[in-house]
Amino acid sequence: MEYGLESGFTIYAGGLGVLAGDHVKSAGDLRVPLIAIGLLWDEGYTRQAVNQAGGVDDFHPKTPRDLLRRLDARFEVTVQGKSVPCTAWRVEHIVSVPLYLIEPIHEEDRWITQRLYGGGEEDRVAQEVLLGVGGVRLLSALGIRPEIFHFNEGHAVFAGLELLRENRFGGDNLAERVNNLRTHVVFTTHTPVAAGNEVHSLELLRKVGADLGFSDEDLGYVGGNPFSMTVAGLRMARIANAVAELHGDTARKMWKDVERAAPIVHVTNGVHPGTWQDARIRAALAPDKDRGTQDAQLAEARAAMKDELITAVGKRAGVHFRRDQILIGFARRAASYKRADLILGDHHQLSELFGRGVQLVFSGKAHPKDIAGKSVVSRLAAAAREFPGHVAFVNAYDMELGALLTRGVDVWLNNPRRPLEASGTSGMKAAMNGVPNLSILDGWWPEGCRHGETGWKIGDPDPSDDAFSEVDAPRIDSRDRASLYRVLFDEVLPAYADRGHWTSIMRASVAMSSWRFSSDRMVEEYVRNLYWP
């Protein structure tokens, strides 16, 4: 549905898109014979800013077309009973594997691709029909018959329905066809938040995707009734994966009652080093240097990157941070489980932190229709007004700002309600740049954390919380907040005050992450364990 390739190429919203972008970039670097398919959105996700009055404004940039070359391909998809002629564009220069973006040919059909994650449920299904059904038909129009289909998140599963409809892999009845299809499909699930797993009524699917020709009974056989995109993905795949080890446990528990589901393994996410790791870090740690030289150059590179961020925050947010004091960063989509404002919750502790020199920089954005998320964004901006000089909020979070932040701060903060962060990837970007993580043991962090060496954990997980209900949230939040302050005062601040110790933590962050949390390692695992085991 989205690809985060380059900051200004705005067909991405957040982590899922950036991950897909990194996936295709690494596939290109490793020469994996992979073709990626998405939609050409006319307008991107919101470029969001908090205004003078503290309200949140949305602005949707037009997708630039200078990186696109139109293909000589034409195919049709029926949406809401109407035939929609489509073509596709290839993304040039940024990626070396083919990335094709589907677009309706006629202006009157472009409502489908008008805006990334725009519109209501019916629009969403129309978008997914275009992506899935259109994707399969595009490849046929190009004369390509893939061996393996990777449905990366439920958004793509209509491709499976299309392959069943055309009986690509044979079978006399639906059960046989599904069985034969499964040999050719792998599926990735990305969200342990129940509400994030899309469900649609069979009636809506029949209305929007009528030409697929499935009866309610057939649709239910594949995705249940109502139709769950995740269940459909699990049932059409030979093997499925979660996106971190812990998420594997969560996903297996979450989907254990689904009959005929693929086994769920995990492939931990990674980030593209060429995109996210500053070249100065690689240069500083070049293996032909002695340790003393490496340490000195690493410290120099880190100081330069922090300087660049502080200058940018001064320009963009009018807050002038001190270079000689610790700077902690947090930038996320404003989903409530990520708890952007956890650290702001206790004013007494907060003023102690400010007294010890702590500076906080925030960024983030909420979906334009997410009222609660927008109020989190407003609250962060309000904190910047309330604590001048100590807190900054930077508008318009995008890949460029994400890169600036994850290489410019001293510590990267991550405090989701466990186990709701499937993986998280911004912390990997930070680690690769020598920025230690201070994080709840959720997502990828249990795999990367050596407490006090590569960064710090916030508290210890209580497994009985892992299936918590909303009623428990306030208790969990205050416990985690107390743990956060404790580790900051007792461990992070003393380590920061000791130059030699801090340098060893920066080094360990880079060493721990550069391969294990790179998308090269991730794509290699997809190839070896899922695509061609």
Ligand X SMILES: *Cc1c(COP(=O)(O)O)cnc(C)c1O
CA separation for the pair 329, 414 (Å, rounded)? 9
Contact window for ligand X (CB under 6 A) among 14-22, 347-355, 485-493, 516-524: 14-22
H helices within 420-518, ranges in order?
A: 426-432, 445-448, 473-487, 493-496, 499-513
Minimum CB separation of residue 290 from ligand X in Å reads: 34
Cα–Cα distance list, 379 to 133, 383, 391, 499, 520 (Å) = 42, 6, 12, 34, 38
Residues 305 to 334 in contact with ligand X, rule: CB under 6 A: 332
Q: Which two tokens stand for residue 45?
A: 């996700």
Could you say whether residue 14 binds ligand X (CB under 6 A)? yes
Contact window for ligand X (CB under 6 A) among 92-100, 143-151, 420-428, 455-463: 420-428
Could you say whether residue 21 binds ligand X (CB under 6 A)? no
Minimum CB separation of residue 205 from ligand X in Å reads: 30
CA separation for the pair 88, 90 (Å, rounded)? 7
Quick one: 17 or 104, whose CB is closer to ligand X? 17
Quick one: 222 or 281, whose CB is closer to ligand X? 281
Could you say whether residue 275 binds ligand X (CB under 6 A)? no
Minimum CB separation of residue 394 from ligand X in Å reads: 12
Could you say whether residue 426 binds ligand X (CB under 6 A)? yes
Quick one: 98 or 248, whose CB is closer to ligand X? 248
Contact window for ligand X (CB under 6 A) among 10-18, 344-352, 387-395, 508-516: 10-18
Could you say whether residue 425 binds ligand X (CB under 6 A)? yes
CA 108 to chain centre: 32
Could you say whether residue 228 binds ligand X (CB under 6 A)? no
CA separation for the pair 455, 47 (Å, rounded)? 32
Could you say whether residue 510 binds ligand X (CB under 6 A)? no
Q: How many residues bind ligand X (CB under 6 A)?
A: 13
Quick one: 112 or 428, whose CB is closer to ligand X? 428
Could you say whether residue 11 binds ligand X (CB under 6 A)? no
Straight-line distance from the first to the last Cα atom of the chain, in angstroms, rounded to the nearest whole number: 26
Quick one: 395 or 426, whose CB is closer to ligand X? 426
CA separation for the pair 367, 115 (Å, rounded)? 12
Q: Answer whether 24's CB lies under 8 Å from 416's CB.
A: no
Could you say whether residue 518 binds ligand X (CB under 6 A)? no
Minimum CB separation of residue 2 from ligand X in Å reads: 11
Minimum CB separation of residue 275 from ligand X in Å reads: 9
Contact window for ligand X (CB under 6 A) among 11-19, 35-43, 109-117, 294-302: 11-19
DSSP for 178-245 reads HHHHHTTEEEE----SGGGS-EE-HHHHHHHTGGG---HHHHHHHHTTTEEHHHHHHHH-SEEEESSH
CA separation for the pair 208, 230 (Å, rounded)? 19
**Three-state secondary structure string covering 349-408:** HHHHHHHCCCEEEEEEECCCCCHHHHHHHHHHHHHHHHCCCCEEEECCCCHHHHHHHHHH
CB count, 10 Å around CB of 460? 8
Could you say whether residue 419 binds ligand X (CB under 6 A)? no
CA separation for the pair 12, 420 (Å, rounded)? 21
Quick one: 104 or 368, whose CB is closer to ligand X? 368
Minimum CB separation of residue 316 from ligand X in Å reads: 15
Element (H, E) at 151: strand 149-152
Quick one: 133 or 243, whose CB is closer to ligand X? 243
Residues 354 to 413 in contact with ligand X, rule: CB under 6 A: 397-399, 402
Could you say whether residue 15 binds ligand X (CB under 6 A)? yes
Contact window for ligand X (CB under 6 A) among 41-49, 122-130, 421-429, 460-468: 421-429
Quick one: 89 or 397, whose CB is closer to ligand X? 397
CA separation for the pair 142, 145 (Å, rounded)? 9
Strand-strand pairing, 327-333 and 199-200: unpaired
Could you say whether residue 416 binds ligand X (CB under 6 A)? no
Could you say whether residue 418 binds ligand X (CB under 6 A)? no
Q: Which two tokens stand for residue 381?
A: 């901006």
Could you say whether residue 18 binds ligand X (CB under 6 A)? yes
Minimum CB separation of residue 531 from ligand X in Å reads: 24
Contact window for ligand X (CB under 6 A) among 231-239, 251-259, 321-329, 423-431: 423-431
Strand-strand pairing, 199-200 and 99-104: unpaired
Contact footprint for ligand X (CB under 6 A)? 14-15, 18, 332, 397-399, 402, 424-427, 429
